[in-house]
Amino acid sequence: MASDRPQHASDAPRVAVVGATGAVGMSLLQLVEERGFDYASFELVASPRSAGRTVEFGGAELVVREIDDVDFGSVDVAFFSAGTALSRIWAPRASAEGALVIDNTAAFRMDPDTPLVVPQVNASVLDRRPASGIVANPNCSTIPLVRVLRPVLREWGAEQVVVSTYQAASGGGYSGIGELREDARSQLAGPPYSVPVKEFPPGLAFNVIPFIDTVLDDGGTVEERKMAQESAKILASPELDVTATCVRVPVVNGHSEAVWIRTRRPAEREAVIAELAAQPDVVVHESTDPVSTPTPRHNGDPDRVHVGRIRVSEDGCGVWLWLVADNLRIGAALNAIQIAELLREKGKL
């Protein structure tokens, strides 16, 4: 069943969340309530494995439906977070039936007819409803990166960006979190280790894994290619040289990134700090005290990008920084809901 609320704006959209029982889907439901996102009706959609479950939302118990049973002609906006394979099939169908799709997978990010959006960076690309009927949500590590790159590019330009990511188990959803916890318990208990490792071979507990996603012929990975291609598209800078090394680390939630930017024009540290601090929902931590430096364990507000360790080279053309962001919220669900809010503000939803 759908959740219907008696009090809502006359133009409030009818909403569906595909992948509602996953880690990103549940974060999105939480944010809808926290942010007071208005809706006329709400559908929860998931795989056959989760269909029939009930989820408490909006003061009611909603039954999760299978996607085959959903009429997207009665949906204004559909959030998709159920995997790339499902999005490739169902997002165009939902769009053809009239729903505007906000897709959190890699299925359409590089499609020329599909805008790839971070509202704080490139909101203007949504001045028109997309030709594909789909808006793509970027990769969870790309979103915080472009939010700090944009002011640097605008003020000083950039010749090259080198990024090392430290990505949490929650990037693999609830199954990734569960596997890390079970693997940690097994490792602490000592041999023989009996926990099967599926999400993060050869095992993430007390380990780091320098591969995320498929390894390509050139030795890079799909995750690393995503960051380079998506950053260039969002920032409308096709010449931007972004190199990434993506590493999975034994952290439950919260991605971190070490970023080096070779600027075209010299910058001063104080000016870089001021520019970053002026960005919406970015918190700059100037303290050099390790306890005050942002980390996934002590991230502060989960709806902000936290930046620390800001340094500038002697010639002024090398900028280093460290950033931490909640990958389930900033890196996925929050960006998606902010896209929907932006579309409503522009009268496109």
User: Does 185 carry a binding-site annotation?
Assistant: no
CA distances from 143 to 45, 164, 287 (A): 25, 14, 24
CB 318 within 8 A of CB 260: yes
- Cα–Cα distance for residue pair 331/144, rounded to 1 Å: 7
**Is residue 285 flagged as an active site residue?**
no
CB 312 within 8 A of CB 262: no
User: Does 22 carry a binding-site annotation?
Assistant: yes
CB atoms within 10 A of CB 39: 21
CB 130 within 8 A of CB 109: no
Give backbone dihedrals phi and psi of 119, rounded to 5 degrees, phi first: -55, -35
Kind and range of the H or E element at 46?
Answer: strand 41-46
Q: Which two tokens stand for residue 78?
A: 């559909």
- Cα–Cα distance for residue pair 182/184, rounded to 1 Å: 5
CB 309 within 8 A of CB 90: no
**Is residue 246 flagged as an active site residue?**
no
Greatest extent of the chain over all pairs of C-alpha atoms, in Å = 62
User: Does 178 carry a binding-site annotation?
Assistant: no
- Cα–Cα distance for residue pair 270/198, rounded to 1 Å: 46
**DSSP-derived secondary structure for 122-179:** HGGGGSS--TTSEEE---TTHHHHHHHHHHHHHHH--SEEEEEEEE-GGGGHHHHHHH
User: Does 167 carry a binding-site annotation?
Assistant: yes
User: Does 49 carry a binding-site annotation?
Assistant: yes
Select which of 246, 255, 306, 317 is catalytic: 255
Q: Exposed (0-12), middle (13-18) or buried (19+): which is 293, by Cβ within 10 Å?
A: middle
Select which of 140, 246, 306, 317 is catalytic: 140
User: Does 292 carry a binding-site annotation?
Assistant: no
Q: Which two tokens stand for residue 18?
A: 């595909």
- Cα–Cα distance for residue pair 165/67, rounded to 1 Å: 34
CB 340 within 8 A of CB 12: no
Q: Binding site for substrate: which residues?
A: 167, 248
Annotated binding site for phosphate: 109
Annotated binding site: 21-24, 49-50, 109, 167, 170-171, 248, 327
Which of the residues are catalytic? Answer: 140, 255
Binding residues for NADP(+): 21-24, 49-50, 170-171, 327
